[in-house]
A and B are shown apart, each in its own frame.
Chain A
Amino acid sequence: MNDFAHIGRSVQRKEGRAKVTGAASFTDDLRIEGLLHGATVRSRVPRGRITGIHFEEGFPWAEFVIVTARDIPGKNAVAHLMLDQPCLADGVVNHAEEPIVLLAHPDPLRVQDARERVRVDVEPLPAVLGIEESLRCDPVIWGQDNIFKTILIAKGDPEAAAALGHLRLDATYHTGAQEHVYIEPNAIIGEASAGGVLVRGSMQCPYYVHHALHELFQLPLEKVRVVQVETGGGFGGKEDYPSMLACHAALLSWKAGGRPVKIAYDREEDMACTTKRHPSRTRIRSAFAADGTLLSLDVEFLLDGGAYMTLSPVVLSRGALHASGPYRCPDLRIRARALATNTPPHGAFRGFGAPQSLFAIERHMDEAAQRLGLDPADLRRKNLLCTGDAMATGQIMRDEVDLVALMDRALTEIRYAEKRAAYPVLNATDDPVKRGVGFSVFMHGGGFTGSGETMLNSVAALEGTAEGQVRVLAASTEMGQGANTVFAQVAAEALQAPVDLIVVAPPDTGLVPNSGPTVASRTTQVVGKLVLDAGLAMRKTLLEAGLLQDGDVGTAIRTYVARHGALRTESRYQKPDFVEWDDATYRGDAYATYAWACYAADLRVDLVSYETQVADFVAVQEVGRVLNPTLAAGQIEGGVAQGIGWGLNEEVIWRQGSMANHQMSNYLIATAADLPRIRVFFEERPYAYGPGGAKGLGELPMDGPAPALLNAVQHALQVVPRQVPMTPEVLMDLVEGG
């Protein structure tokens, strides 16, 4: 089965020993001489004019470092796609919790105390606090029309096709914000002076932070250095936000003459102020033939982007590209818009727009099945994409995957047919606990959208050391997902060396090339391939030098480095030949490949308390070759748990544009006792352009749970749920007609 020495094996996590002994040092664990502690004064209103900043009289402000917008040496912006988001509000505020003043002091308690003694006067302005208000432009708060980005994907003639439909269905779906709840809150340490800027901290994308600091300070690129420290979970929450935090810490240090400044958020500040998953509204108008054939789709997909653009256009793009699900549909239109509101900017979160649009289409399919009198599985059997079919953008599906077989495997594992028949009978009794079984079929594109990978132009390198080790040099970060281990496996495979010979260098922009951000399920699939190719190049170099006769790679490297002074190979991204994409028309290969899945859930609903309990959960997926079965299953299990949370329990409660329940005690994530054993199955079909045949899989498991669970609610209660989270309160209203 496996011709590989390391690929496909559950090699233990590289940094595992440090993590189980408590030796692993996260940002807040670093002990630094002369450290100052930073704190942030924020807006309490969602929109307004700043009329004054007052520092309490008689307080010893001379002890403190104080920074406002006026102290910024370069551009007052946190650079993402645009420069519309200020680093510190100047004159106006556009969302609650927007940073206005920064403070630092050697004593962390003193600085928290001081924060309460700064008063910012803000004259409130009318605010836009949701998608509907933003659409009405009442008032306009961003650009000409509150729209960050519009995308249109069109194929055929959906109106004409719909006219022939036996069933025409028009339904609107809503999804709420979701907080990442990485267990390590955001933390960054900055040092900045005319000599340069050094930032260390918890982050996913060192070069994003590097770019933001470069813009803020207007220093030469080589004078900015960013180092990722052990990172306690990210899930997208440490993709864009650390740029803001890095700018703040570095500004305080700049003002303090270069002394190091740490800003470590506590949980409340982290939850209230950092990014969340974009809330969405999706309207689907569909037409089906009497036999269930999907004739047309007209999808309007809207995202609440918050007050500034940040990454919303890209999140919108991925959402739009997944909006028609894994279905054949000759006539369709997908219209997508990301809208401005006066809430803290929504940002990257595992799935990146796809969970929102896939939730809508996968719920819609079950509604359509019910209206057509078909089993949801039979409706999908008619419409699932097959290899060679055209997708929404005209992309021809190349992946050799049998989606019907994938679905049937999940349905067999969950005992779907039996439960589908038996539960309605059980549910007719007096037992207040009702049972339902539901599933979803979906895909997730691996890597950046469209021409994104080509534009990233990523590079990874390997370096032989004088001691005969190999260092992987990449900006891709380990945040729990297993990048260190997978890179080591892939490099060892290419070099035909033991995994222990490989060490992964810390992602330090002073040391590693830019292998791109650690996002978009791209680290294994795209950067892993660069590591593999750099490994093959290094092996070739050693062979050509005549150093591999006795087969000991470590000795060969030691000898080579002793003779030549250095040994370094690198690899740059090259797109697979077949990939063609037109960003202007949204036609072509949206992603080089996709991971495919069917998730099935067995759900209990207690009609006394309206509590839900997931009794069984099956996750079947095709992700190319699995490089490390333990790590891969761990990613799926964790993603499913987050997806279950988004579907059933995790509700961000907004009050005047601010998260009201910004604590772990009132924003509830699942405990071990709340979840079933998530059962994970892989179909392995090697992908020709991935390392050892691997595809990306990190985001996939976020997409499927919510629709599978709500489809089970429909089966259990004969209601039509169209929103997540489906909390007990929402469910009660749905059942009792409140």
Chain B
Amino acid sequence: MSSPKILLKLTVNGESRQALVHPMARLLDVIREDLGLTGTKEGCGEGECGACSVILDGSLVNACLIPAIQVQGASLRTVEGLAGTDLSPLQEAFLHHGGAQCGFCTPGMLVAGTHLLEMEAVHDEAGAREGLAGNLCRCTGYVKIVDALLAAGEGRP
């Protein structure tokens, strides 16, 4: 990490942000350490668990696998950007259905689920399960997470 730092400019949850970072710093560390948004979690550091899922220019990515230099000028959405003054329908559905247990996979699940809903990719249970397969949860057995996603997709509580 001896290369000089770069000034990274990003739109984060609709706001312009910048940070002086190593070009090869992980986007995950930029988000957590430089931008101070600790809702995005590290569960494995190798792109397996999805706890660091964020939406980068409209694509769902694992922030632990993306170097900072690759996101210059990009638009980023994290769990902190999902709620407005009210919770989003998916966040409400997670509360109603019990989709969060320990809460550590939850931010990544919500970001992935939000992306699936926005892509209109949730039509049935099998699709919901396939869509969430990049996000690991060890508490729930996924039933209540899937139920929350299906409910939000159908606009019901």
* Chain A interface (Cβ < 8 Å from any Cβ of B): 10, 12-13, 15-26, 28-29, 31, 109, 180-185, 230-235, 266-267, 479-482, 630-631, 633-634, 636-642, 663-665, 669, 671-675, 677-678
Contacts and interface: CB of A to CB of B under 8 A. Distances in A.
Interface of B: 1, 32, 36-46, 48-49, 51, 78-80, 82-83, 87, 91, 94-98, 100-107, 110, 125, 128-130, 132-146
Contact of A10 (B80, B98, B102, B143): B98
Given A19-B106, A184-B102, A669 B138 contact: yes
Contacts of B132: 671-673
Contacts of A181: 136, 138
Contact of B138 (A25, A630, A631, A638): A638
B38 A29 contact: yes
A183 B137 contact: yes
A636 B134 CA distance: 23
A21 B133 contact: no
Given A183-B138, A672-B142, A663 B48 contact: yes
- The binding surface of chain B is classed by DSSP as loop
A177 B108 CA distance: 28
A298 B37 CA distance: 58
- The binding surface of chain A is classed by DSSP as loop
A77 B82 CA distance: 47
Given A21-B80, A672-B133, A183 B102 contact: yes
B102 A22 contact: no
Contact of B144 (A233, A266, A630): A630
A21 B138 contact: no
Q: Which of A23, A479, A673 lies at the interface centre, i.e. has the most chain B CB atoms within 10 A of its CB?
A: A673
Given A480-B102, A634-B98, A664 B142 contact: no
A457 to B, nearest CB: 29
Contact of B142 (A230, A231, A482, A675): A675
B140 A638 contact: yes
12 contacts: A12-B96, A231-B102, A232-B102, A233-B138, A233-B139, A479-B102, A480-B101, A637-B142, A639-B141, A671-B129, A672-B130, A678-B141
Contact of A677 (B32, B42, B143): B143
A638 B101 contact: yes
A16 B95 contact: yes
A634 B140 contact: yes
Given A630-B144, A672-B129, A20 B98 contact: no
Given A16-B100, A630-B98, A672 B128 contact: yes
A313 B142 CA distance: 34
A235 B138 contact: yes
A21 B91 contact: yes
B91 A232 contact: no
A640 B141 contact: yes
